[in-house]
Structure 1
Amino acid sequence: MILGIATVVVLVLVAVALLPTKKRDRDGNNLNFTQPFVRPTNFRQQQLNEEAEAIADEYQRRADDAWREELGEKAATLLKSKPATTSRSSKS
């Protein structure tokens, strides 16, 4: 019974893992897909775009760091407030 359930779970997980991959491959091999026209930009515009991306990346990194720090503080608070009631029953 448990082996059957485990087999079904594994098959479902494998199917879920493979479906997005096949969709990406199909999308990548689509011959009817046309690339959007990219107009050439001058050097200054390229610099501005790269600088904007760098600023956005830095902002995202700082936001992620702040979120991780806040999450760590909340986790520590929750772990401290949790009563330490670990009872172990020994079966002999």
Structure 2
Amino acid sequence: MEDLWDRKFMSQHSLGGMKAKNDKSDTPAKPVLPPDSVQAIINYVTEFLRKQYTITLEPKHIRSAISTKLSTEKSAFKKRSSIVASAILPERS
């Protein structure tokens, strides 16, 4: 995924284009990742694991890993943004 998109792009997109059930904010849902790219990732991972390790992995497990990666990037991006902001902007007393 990191070869296809930068961290900012991943942090701003979701796999399904829907808001989390526990998100009560008024912000809109994040845009969905390009479906063709997601399918290409699923196909690649499935084929790679089948050839290299004779493992058959269901697409739902790969989609779960993609979703986790997007969530992790969102958290990391927010953390990096707050660190940069605090380094640039002096604290007010």
Scaled by the length of structure 2, what TM-score is found?
0.37
Larger radius of gyration: 1
- Asked which structure has the greater RCO (Cα within 8 Å, sep 6+), the reply is 2
